[in-house]
A = this chain, B = another copy of it.
């Protein structure tokens, strides 16, 4: 990242901190009930990157006043066994939120596993119930990354109504719900292909680009409309996003850095929704 002084960044790190501070204040109300919010984290196997993600999420929850309970399952766990574990946590009154770290491995039917999470504890926003809630503005939790993106756009006063937003990538927990959330805000939304031929013509028209496909530097500066708002939700282990920051940031009005943009927002939504879930389940009136 080599931002010049004229680039206006959407600073996910500082906004995430504000969201976590608010969650921490909200979590303080729960001692009245004699309990604190509890997130159950479930990890299948021992992938070091996944284990690191889980520890980071647990640490954020601890920082915001939530406990976490970790369930580590062997790599040989079957889908049925994983579903049993998740169903048990769904009905456990001591657990308010459930995170299934994914990908779980090719032998697991992830969709079936996600659906074993009770909607009212789906603080990672991975169930179909949460998808419907996002699409139709019903009560429910958002997927963390799309939810984090929307909070960023809101914080930087990006007016979406009537704007053309292009979403690159259509995964069930990122691109697809991100498009639905933008549509709810009355944007004109295009789900773009990720193959370059079709992509470039579409992205060049976009007022707002959400890149969520996971291909390093897929979108370059010359492909971005001058004055566009660019959100880079791509991620790879080397912290290279879907957007070529150096060339794109010379043309954008607002852009997320990688790291420090969408990543911390994704992480902040989880403890915030855990506190919300606990408040809902414990019957605490939020203000």
Contact = CB atoms under 8 A, between A and B. Distances in A.
A183 B172 CA distance: 12
A189 B191 contact: yes
Interface string A151-180: 000000000001010000010100010010
A198 interface: yes
Given A136-B128, A193-B162, A202 B176 contact: no
A230 to B, nearest CB: 19
Nearest to A133: B128
Contacts of A281: none
A133 to B, nearest CB: 9
A192 interface: yes
A170 B191 contact: no
Interface residues of A, number: 25
A138 B172 CA distance: 12
A195 B190 CA distance: 16
A30 interface: no
Number of copies: 2
A131 interface: yes
A177 to B, nearest CB: 10
A198 B162 contact: yes
A172 to B, nearest CB: 6
Contacts of A83: none
Contacts of A162: 193, 195, 198
A176 B191 CA distance: 13
A11 B16 CA distance: 54
Nearest to A176: B135
Given A131-B132, A198-B162, A188 B188 contact: no
Contact of A188 (B132, B183, B190): B190
